Amino acid sequence: MGSLLYSSSPTANIYPMSENFYLRHRLQVVEELWESVLRQECGQKMVDLLRQLRDLCSPEGQATNDQAASAVELIEQLNINEAIRAARAFALYFQLINIIEQEYEQKQQLTRYSDSGTIDQQNLPNIIYSTNQREDELPVTKALEADVVTQSWTDTTPVKQKGTFAALFPLLFKLNVPPQQIQRLISQLDIRLVFTAHPTEIVRHTIRDKQRQVVDLLQQLDSLENRSGGYPWEAAEVRERLLEEIRLWWRTDELHQFKPTVLDEVDYALHYFQEVLFDGIPQLYKRIKYSLAQTFPWLEPPSTNFCSFGSWVGSDRDGNPSVTPEVTWKTACYQRKMVLERYIKSVKQLIELLSVSMHWSDVLPDLLESLELDQSTLSDVYDALALRYRQEPYRLKLAYVLRRLENTSDRNLALYKRETPTNEDAPMYRSGAEFLAELRLIQHNLTETGLSCRELENLICQVEIFDFNLTQLDIRQESSRHSDALNEILEYLQILPQAYNELSEDQRVAWLTGELQTRRPLIPAELPFSEKTNDVVETFRIVRSLQQEFGLNICQTYIISMCREVSDVLEVLLLAKEAGLFDPAIAVGSIRVVPLFETVEDLQRSRSVMRQLFELPLYRAFLAGGYEAINPEHTAPSSQPPNSPSSLILNPNLQEVMLGYSDSNKDSGFLSSNWEIHKAQKSLQKIAEEYGLQLRIFHGRGGSVGRGGGPAYEAILAQPGHSINGRIKITEQGEVLASKYSLLDLALYHIETITSAVIQASLLRTGFDDIEPWNEIMEELAHASRQHYRALIYEQPDFIDFFHQVTPIEEISQLQISSRPARRPSGKKDLSSLRAIPWVFSWTQTRFLLPSWYGVGTALQEFVNEQPEEHLKLLRYFYVKWPFLKMVISKAEMTLAKVDMEMARHYVQELSNPEDKPRFEKVFEQIASEFYLTRDLVLKITGHQRLLDGDPILQRSVQLRNGTIVPLGFIQVSLLKRLRQYKNSSTPAIIHSRYSKGELLRGALLTINGIAAGMRNTG
């Protein structure tokens, strides 16, 4: 019998025999294994049922109205155990398909380096460079008018070239980009990727382990099948092992067994460093160094740590009461534990490798002097090993290094446990810099004597990138928590004539500015305040403790979510002053205050907020690195407190600003949100330049398009080029971590594309963002889109009830996938308190995907209606030439392809209360009408016959999943319907004797898991 889904599925036709043979073959292998497992575990009856359900969809993989009734009838006959097994089977299928696609994508990435290819010179963009150009100006596209701009190179370069260093530097050479500009840019290159604990990773890490086992076995099978002269039984044996592993997977619970603690989430996030990034990132540096040397051999490569990592896991306390100061301390210790263990392992390997004897190689005096010093401080190591290593100086030196690392690790463990270290006087490393100096001493000696050691070079690179901290921890807290804390503190001290929270913004700024210019302590050492206020104060104190123990790099960023006013920033600076993180006498601080502007109103207000801040002499001096940096004649006070941060000056004149994609989208819709963020970047960059400041934009992107997700390469190219200037910071969260960082080559390619896009966007600005008539058109489109979006979400009286009834929002909130609550602390069941992740998650499950496209169609149609032929032609031109609009339309097209309006209708029909159906039908028709309008206009603008015709790989991936998600959606609706009937019934024991509420909830949650895997998106 053939593969159930592969042979019978209409989607099999999307794989022509002549192409993608590897992918086709691998899909067949896993589908046969999947079917075999189901037959063994569930019997042929289940296999036949799945076949029957799978056939109940259209050839395009969409639900149809006629077949929905048949599917419902079939599913309603299933008992709870059968429904759960069917849901689990489909979920397993999606996970296996995801593995195969990731493996295939990884193979595709490797081919990008096998042939550098050629670039079509006739289609290169016209870039102009003037000899009298200002030194700090970047090249701008020569012609801005529509009839003379050439096709963007990204549309003509072979697909395998996009995003690689191997393609980027030859392009810059062909475009005659001045080498000094390239050098200046790569010398300041600063890519920061920040891992977050946002609850969008639905797959248990136990299941992730099973997936890695399957990946390893598939790679073994590849090797055996491609090897000549092997034994046939070897491949057969690996297939048997695959079958065993998938059976074990089948018998493993997919649902999280408990609500994870914050430290569990820390462990989950660090897994990607342990398995992939720690060993992989040095390869990224080698790629850029090699590619640069191939084209510009006279240029210096960037620093080894041009790409660094941050983390919110264990430090982001916005809305998560579980993230306490103690948890943040333990997180830092845990990160250091992991990195020290890796260094210890590497040093032990080097001891085995560097067996160089003094009989056969010279040794420089500096190494011998170092050994003498080590002998005096680590005499026990000398006594134990001097005889063994008497002629092997590198081994002896590394033995001393190893002991210091072990002592450092022992001390760190005691600090983690909050115990007093017993080995404080033992020789150890107080910082990664001390360890690095010893490694460089060894490297210098090897080099001077004509030797090299790749393992040592890799270790040095790792220490330069990860130090002893692994990642930088960013602190994040909501703005009102700071004002409420100050309100309580000042009320206790009776300093103000009225409550702080009752002051106007001007009064607050005046008082804060005055208080920030005095060293007088405001907060007592003992905290007689409420638990919330004490937590705020202690958070700043723990940051100070972290910097003293781990160094400045462990934690230097404090992000203010829902930042709205100047006072929100000054409050944080005042609290930092009280903890010794800011010295008001000299205006030097060891913390960077980062406002996060999230809603559309806050994004629009960001311009005036930052301008007012830059106008404040104290804040301006703080950014510059102190009063002395602005005025060299300024003299610091002769006596500075012992905890003064004056020796810990951050990068001068750099302001970081974070922009939130999630809440702005929930507030204003997809098109409006993206445009407001785009405008904010341009205006913030302009303001920063006025004050002689550098700007780093921190993009709070989610995994889904509705939260700023999508291909990072295209998204970066669509940013206003001058707002990047070689610097970018991006959040990586939830399922993005699993999809981008699970496999080494995928992770490296992902980061390489981000880096290439940053360089390209910084050096090759198109200038389209500065064409005022284009901006006016986009402003008009964004305004119309926002109005239509808000008319549904906030003004349609039936919408909230519709949302709660027809989506699994309440069930999603019961998934044990995060330590953070699904709603903000207000407790209300309204949209304002609902976080953006479950909001998007719910619409994804029901196949509406509403946050990613709603309002776009109406806005476009209104514009086209003004002058049908001319305006449609103009939109098509924008799509081809303007990176921003192309990014917006492409993202909308991607999500529209995943929408299944007939399946969404099924949710409405089956889950609506009978008395609510008439009004809910009207809401649905409003949504459906907008969907079809948006889809048709996107097709007209792109010129595609079908959605995603321009991206056949993604089109194939979506089609492959759509068909199987349909029956899983029917199962979900059936289980949700039964569960809600159970909840609403006055006599559930009589009516539902066949199954319990717990069984129904479990079944519903399993379908949520399965659909999330199939959609490759949650929230």
**Active site residues per annotation:** 198, 666
Q: Looking at this protein, which amino acid is placed at residue 543?
A: V
Whether 1011 and 965 have beta carbons less than 8 Å apart is answered as yes
- According to DSSP, the residues that pair with 592 across neighbouring strands are 557
CB 407 within 8 A of CB 428: yes
Helix (H, G, I), strand (E, B) or coil at 765: strand
Nearest to 286 by CA among 165, 123, 196: 165
Whether 309 contacts 195, CB under 8 Å: yes
C-alpha span between 245 and 217 (Å, rounded): 9
Cβ 546 vs Cβ 336: under 8 Å? no
Pairing of strands 592-597, 557-561: parallel
Amino acid at 94: F
Distance of CA 177 to the CA centre of its chain: 31
| Closest residue by Cα to residue 616 from 517, 723, 501 | 517
- In a 13 Å sphere around the CA of 538, the CA atoms on its Cβ side amount to 18
| CA atoms of 198 and 591, how far apart (whole Å) | 24
Instruction: Please give the Cα distance from 672 to 783 (Å, whole number).
Output: 7
Q: CA 341 to CA 130: how far, in whole Å?
A: 53
Alpha carbons 503 and 507: distance in angstroms, whole number = 6
Using a 10 angstrom Cβ sphere, with 0-12 exposed, 13-18 middle and 19 or more buried, the burial of residue 257 is exposed
Contacts of 608 (CB under 8 A, 6+ apart): none
Q: Write down the H helix ranges in 188-231.
A: 205-226
AA letter at 1000 = L
Give the Cα separation of 839 and 666 in Å (integer). 8
Positive/negative CA dihedral, 597, 602, 603, 608: negative
DSSP category for residue 357: -
997-1015 vs 952-984: helix axis angle to the nearest 10?
A: 170
Question: What does 906-929 look like in DSSP terms, one character per residue?
Answer: HHHHHHS-GGGHHHHHHHHHHHHH
Classify the C-alpha dihedral 656-782-1019-803 as positive or negative: positive
Cβ-contact 845, 1008 below 8 angstroms = yes
Q: Where are the beta strands (DSSP E) in 541-615?
A: 557-561, 582-583, 588-589, 592-597
Which amino acid makes up residue 88? R
Helices of type H across 846-916:
856-866, 868-881, 883-898, 901-911
Q: What does the alpha-carbon distance between residue 129 and residue 735 come to, in Å, rounded to a whole number?
A: 42
**CA 323 – CA 316 distance, rounded (Å):** 7
Cβ 766 vs Cβ 125: under 8 Å:
yes
Q: Identify the CA nearest to 583 among candidates 516, 632, 630, 628.
A: 516
Please name the residue that has the structure tokens 């189901």.
38
Distances (CA, A) of 78 to 49, 192, 781, 975, 977: 10, 50, 48, 10, 14
Q: How many residues does the chain have?
A: 1019
Element (H, E) at 195: strand 190-196
Q: Does an H or E element contain 612, and which?
A: helix 600-615
